[in-house]
C-alpha cells in the first residue's frame, strides 16, 4: 500500500464517516465495520440486513450531500476503554476493535463526532467540518471479509472518493475513463490480440497472430540477452509423476493450486500412475542437475526456460491476461555455491533493471518479500536459514543503495524474495521480476556437488523470473502503451497506402522491399485513402506510407506517424534506415 498524503487522507477519511452517517440514517440497523481512506478514495464496511446494489448508491450519495451541506463540525474526544464500550454498545464490530486495542494495552481511545448525532471510533485525523468536502463520487458496492479473513463474516463495502473541488473530481473521473480505455481486455478485443474461450477453459489464453508476433519478438530478445549473460536453455515436460511433486513438497504445500491428477492405469496391476500438470518448473531443472554428479568447477549453473505452467487459481481472481491459469514463465534457476551467491543475485538484479528499462519501465518499486508472522508453519526449512537469507538479500539491496520496502508475509513457502514492480504513468504497480531463494528444494532433492575439499556440499538455488510470465507481462505492456506497442514489438510496423489504382504496382513493390529487409508491413488498397488511414490508425500501426503520383515520380514515400504527424516525403532507403534505428533503439515511435 502506498503512503497517502495527509490532506487526501483527512478528506477521504472524513468522507467515509459521512458515508457511515448517511447509511445509519437510511438503514438504522446497519452495523459499522471500518472505513479508512485508501489510495484514490475511501470505503466503509457495513453489516446490513438488506441487500444493496449500485442502484442504491445515488440515494446514499444524496443523503451524504445533505450532511455535507449542513457543514457539521468534526470533533474528537478522548475517552476511556470502558466509556468506549458503553458508547459502542450496539456496534459489535467496534466493540471487537476496542477489545483488540485493550489487549494491546491501550487505555483510552479517540472518538470522532460529526455534528452531535454521529460518532465513530477513530484515530483520525479529520477535516474540521463536513463542508470542506466539495465533491463526492460513490463508485461501487462489493463484499469484503471482516478484518480481511476468509473465514470471517462478509460485510458490504461501499467504495467512493471525495474531493476538495469540482475540478479535482473531474480530473479523477477523467483518470477513470483513461484507465478504462487502456484496459488490455478491451484493447485485446479491439486489436484482435487474444481471446479466452469458455470451452477451452477460464484463465487460458488464446494468442492470436498479432500478439504472437509481439511475443515472438520478446522471446527472441529474451534468448539473446540470456545467452549473453551466461545462461543455457533447457526444455522440460509439462507433466510429472506424483513422486516428483511429493519430493518437491508441492503436494503438501501447493496442492490446492494444482490441476487435479491424471490417473494412468498400469498394465496387469491394480495401482495407477498419477501425473500432475506442472505448476512450477523447478523440479524439472533439479532433475537435470541430478542426472549426474556435479563438481564445484561447474558452478554456477544458470538454466533458463520459457516454461509453461498451470495453476488452478480461484475463479474469482482471474483477470484477462494479468491473472490466468496457464502461463509461460521466463524462468531460470541458478545453482551456485555459498560464496557465489551474492554475486549471482547482483547479476540477476543488473539483468532485471536492464530488461525493464528496455521495455520502457523506467520507474521501479523494489520489495523485499520476507516471512509473515501469521502463518509461520507455511514456511519450510530451518529458521536459521531464513534469517540468514533475509538478511543477505537486505544487505545486497542496501549495498546497492536501492530503496525498498519490506513485504511482510510476501515470501514463498520455500524462501524469501526480491520483487521488482514496474510503475506505469498512472502510478499503478505491475509485478514482473521476482528473485527468490529456494532452500527447500536443494535439501528435499538431496542436491549436492563435490567441493574443492572433496566433500559433498548442498548448493544454493536461486529461482527467478524477470518478465514474470509472458501473459502478465504482455498484458501489462498493452495497458502501458494502450496497444500502441513500441516499433520493435508492433505486430505491423508499416502500412503502405497507394492513393489510387495507378500506384498499386509501385506500392506493392515498396511493401515487398520492406518485407525483404525484415520490416513488418501491410499493403492496404481497398476503400478510400481516408478510410485506410483511419484503419491503420485504429490498428495503431506506427508508420503509414502514402504513395501517390508525386511520390512515384520523385521515387519517395510520404510518411505519416500514428501520432497523426505528417513527416512529408522521404526516400524509401532513408525510411528503412529510420525504422531499423527505431527498432534497434526500442523506441516507442
Q: Write out the binding residues for RNA, residues 456-485 only, by CB under 7 A.
A: 465, 468-469, 471-472
Cell for 366? 523494489
555: left (phi over 0), alpha (psi -120 to 50) or beta: left
| Contact present, 245 and 283 (Cβ < 8 Å) | yes
DSSP for 280-297, please give it: -SHHHHHHHHTTS--BGG
Distances (CA, A) of 375 to 34, 311, 405, 411: 24, 22, 21, 11
Return d(Cα 293, Cα 277) in angstroms, integer.
28
Residue 384 touching RNA (CB under 7 A):
no
Task: Indicate the residue among 331 and 344 with the shorter CB distance to RNA.
Answer: 331
| Contact present, 37 and 12 (Cβ < 8 Å) | yes
Return d(Cα 241, Cα 204) in angstroms, integer.
23
| Sign of the Cα pseudo-torsion (404, 409, 412, 416, in order) | positive
Distances (CA, A) of 421 to 362, 368, 403, 424: 11, 11, 13, 10
Residues 511-530 as x/- pattern, contact with RNA by CB under 7 A = ----------------xxxx
Tell me the window of 14-22, 87-95, 237-245, 307-315 that interacts with RNA (CB under 7 A): 307-315
Tell me the window of 270-278, 317-325, 394-402, 516-524 that interacts with RNA (CB under 7 A): 317-325
Q: Which of 537, 572, 576, 578 binds RNA (CB under 7 A)?
A: 537
Q: Which of 6, 262, 383, 538 binds RNA (CB under 7 A)?
A: 538
Tell me the window of 286-294, 344-352, 454-462, 500-508 that interacts with RNA (CB under 7 A): 500-508
Q: Within 10 Å of residue 277's Cβ, how many Cβ atoms?
A: 19
In this structure, the dihedral spanned by the alpha carbons of residues 474, 475, 476 and 482, taken in order and rounded to 10 degrees, is 100
Task: Indicate the residue among 28 and 198 with the shorter CB distance to RNA.
Answer: 198
Rounded to a whole number of angstroms, the CA Rg of the chain reads 29
Tell me the window of 166-174, 346-354, 394-402, 498-506 that interacts with RNA (CB under 7 A): 498-506
Return d(Cα 430, Cα 497) in angstroms, integer.
38
Task: Indicate the residue among 24 and 328 with the shorter CB distance to RNA.
Answer: 328
Residue 548 touching RNA (CB under 7 A):
yes
Tell me the window of 76-84, 112-120, 244-252, 546-554 that interacts with RNA (CB under 7 A): 546-554
HSE-up (13 A, CA, CB side) for residue 75: 8
Residues 387-426 as x/- pattern, contact with RNA by CB under 7 A = -------------------------x------x-------
Task: Indicate the residue among 111 and 211 with the shorter CB distance to RNA.
Answer: 211
Q: Which of 33, 160, 240, 320 binds RNA (CB under 7 A)?
A: 320
Task: Indicate the residue among 70 and 195 with the shorter CB distance to RNA.
Answer: 195
Residue 293 touching RNA (CB under 7 A):
no
Tell me the window of 90-98, 153-161, 166-174, 242-250 that interacts with RNA (CB under 7 A): 153-161
Residue 136 touching RNA (CB under 7 A):
no
Residue 358 touching RNA (CB under 7 A):
no
How near is the Cβ of 575 to RNA at its closest, in Å?
Answer: 13
| φ/ψ of residue 309, rounded to 5 | -120, 160
Tell me the window of 81-89, 268-276, 348-356, 540-548 that interacts with RNA (CB under 7 A): 540-548
Q: Write out the binding residues for RNA, residues 5-24 only, by CB under 7 A.
A: none
Distances (CA, A) of 135 to 54, 130, 325, 404, 544: 19, 11, 41, 35, 45
Chain-centroid distance of CA 419 in Å reads: 11
| Sign of the Cα pseudo-torsion (3, 9, 12, 15, in order) | positive
Task: Indicate the residue among 67 and 321 with the shorter CB distance to RNA.
Answer: 321
In this structure, the dihedral spanned by the alpha carbons of residues 538, 478, 350 and 582, taken in order and rounded to 10 degrees, is -10
| Contact present, 497 and 531 (Cβ < 8 Å) | no
Q: Which of 227, 550, 555, 584 binds RNA (CB under 7 A)?
A: 550
Q: Write out the binding residues for RNA, residues 226-255 only, by CB under 7 A.
A: none
HSE-up (13 A, CA, CB side) for residue 49: 6
Task: Indicate the residue among 315 and 384 with the shorter CB distance to RNA.
Answer: 315
Number of separate helices (H) and strands (E) present in the chain: 18, 28
Q: Which of 1, 3, 49, 53 binds RNA (CB under 7 A)?
A: 53
How near is the Cβ of 491 to RNA at its closest, in Å?
Answer: 17
- List interacting residues with RNA (CB under 7 A): 51, 53-54, 140-145, 148-150, 154, 156-157, 159, 185, 189, 196, 198, 202-203, 311, 313-320, 323-325, 327, 329, 412, 419, 431-432, 434, 465, 468-469, 471-472, 499-502, 527-531, 533-534, 537-538, 544, 546, 548-551, 558, 560, 564, 566
Amino acid at each position: 500500500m502506498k503512503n497517502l498524503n495527509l490532506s487526501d487522507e483527512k478528506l477521504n477519511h472524513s468522507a467515509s464517516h459521512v458515508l457511515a452517517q448517511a447509511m445509519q440514517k437510511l438503514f438504522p440497523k446497519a452495523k459499522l465495520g471500518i472505513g479508512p481512506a485508501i489510495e484514490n478514495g475511501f470505503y466503509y464496511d457495513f453489516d446490513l440486513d438488506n441487500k444493496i446494489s449500485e442502484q442504491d448508491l445515488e440515494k446514499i450519495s444524496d443523503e451524504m450531500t445533505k450532511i455535507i451541506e449542513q457543514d457539521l463540525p468534526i470533533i474528537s474526544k478522548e475517552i476511556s476503554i470502558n466509556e468506549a464500550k458503553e458508547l459502542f454498545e450496539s456496534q459489535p464490530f467496534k466493540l471487537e476493535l476496542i477489545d483488540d486495542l485493550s489487549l494491546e494495552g491501550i487505555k483510552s481511545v479517540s472518538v470522532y463526532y460529526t455534528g452531535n448525532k454521529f460518532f465513530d471510533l477513530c484515530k483520525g485525523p479529520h477535516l474540521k467540518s463536513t463542508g470542506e468536502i466539495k465533491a463526492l463520487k460513490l463508485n461501487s458496492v462489493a463484499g469484503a471479509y471482516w478484518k480481511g479473513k476468509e473465514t470471517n463474516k462478509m460485510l458490504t463495502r461501499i467504495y467512493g472518493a471525495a474531493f476538495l473541488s469540482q475540478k479535482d473530481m473531474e480530473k479523477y473521473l477523467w483518470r477513470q475513463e483513461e484507465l478504462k480505455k487502456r484496459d488490455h481486455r478491451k484493447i485485446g478485443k479491439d486489436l484482435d490480440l487474444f481471446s479466452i474461450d469458455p470451452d477451452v477453459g477460464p484463465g487460458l489464453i488464446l494468442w492470436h497472430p498479432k500478439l504472437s508476433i509481439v511475443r515472438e519478438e520478446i522471446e527472441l530478445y529474451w534468448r539473446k540477452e540470456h545467452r549473453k549473460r551466461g545462461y543455457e536453455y533447457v526444455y522440460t515436460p509439462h507433466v510429472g509423476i506424483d513422486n516428483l511433486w511429493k519430493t518437491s513438497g508441492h503436494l503438501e504445500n501447493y496442492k490446492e493450486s494444482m490441476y487435479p491428477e491424471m490417473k494412468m492405469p498400469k498394465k496387469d496391476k491394480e495401482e495407477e500412475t498419477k501425473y500432475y500438470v506442472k505448476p512450477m518448473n523447478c523440479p524439472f531443472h533439479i532433475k537435470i542437475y541430478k542426472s549426474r554428479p556435479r563438481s564445484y568447477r561447474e558452478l554456477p549453473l544458470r538454466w533458463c526456460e520459457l516454461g509453461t505452467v498451470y495453476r488452478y487459481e480461484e475463479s474469482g481472481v482471474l483477470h484477462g491476461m494479468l491473472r490466468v491459469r496457464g502461463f509461460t514463465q521466463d524462468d531460470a534457476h541458478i545453482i551456485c555455491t555459498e560464496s557465489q551467491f551474492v554475486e549471482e543475485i547482483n547479476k540477476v538484479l543488473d539483468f532485471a533493471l536492464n530488461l525493464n528499462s528496455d521495455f520502457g519501465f523506467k520507474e521501479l518499486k523494489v520489495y523485499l518479500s520476507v516471512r509473515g508472522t501469521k502463518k509461520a508453519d507455511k514456511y519450510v526449512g530451518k529458521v536459521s536459514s531464513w534469517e540468514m537469507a533475509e538478511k543477505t538479500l537486505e544487505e545486497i539491496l542496501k549495498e546497492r543503495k536501492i530503496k525498498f520496502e519490506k513485504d511482510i508475509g510476501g515470501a514463498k513457502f520455500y524462501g524469501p524474495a526480491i520483487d521488482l514492480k514496474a510503475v506505469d504513468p498512472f502510478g499503478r504497480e505491475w509485478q514482473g521480476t521476482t528473485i527468490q531463494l529456494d532452500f527447500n528444494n536443494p535439501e528435499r532433492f538431496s542436491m549436492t556437488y563435490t567441493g574443492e575439499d572433496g566433500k559433498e556440499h548442498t548448493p544454493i538455488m536461486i529461482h527467478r523470473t524477470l518478465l514474470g510470465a509472458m501473459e502478465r507481462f504482455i498484458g501489462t505492456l498493452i495497458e502501458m502503451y494502450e496497444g500502441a506497442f513500441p516499433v520493435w514489438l508492433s505486430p505491423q510496423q508499416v502500412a503502405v497506402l497507394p492513393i489510387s489504382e495507378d500506384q498499386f504496382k509501385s506500392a506493392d513493390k515498396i511493401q515487398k522491399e520492406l518485407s525483404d529487409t525484415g520490416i513488418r508491413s501491410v499493403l492496404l488498397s481497398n476503400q478510400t485513402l481516408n478510410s485506410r488511414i483511419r484503419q491503420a490508425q485504429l490498428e495503431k500501426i506506427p508508420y503509414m506510407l502514402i504513395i501517390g503520383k508525386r511520390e512515384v515520380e520523385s521515387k519517395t514515400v510520404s510518411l505519416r506517424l500514428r501520432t497523426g504527424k505528417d513527416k512529408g516525403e522521404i526516400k524509401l532507403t532513408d525510411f528503412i534506415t529510420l525504422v531499423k534505428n527505431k527498432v534497434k533503439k526500442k523506441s516507442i515511435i
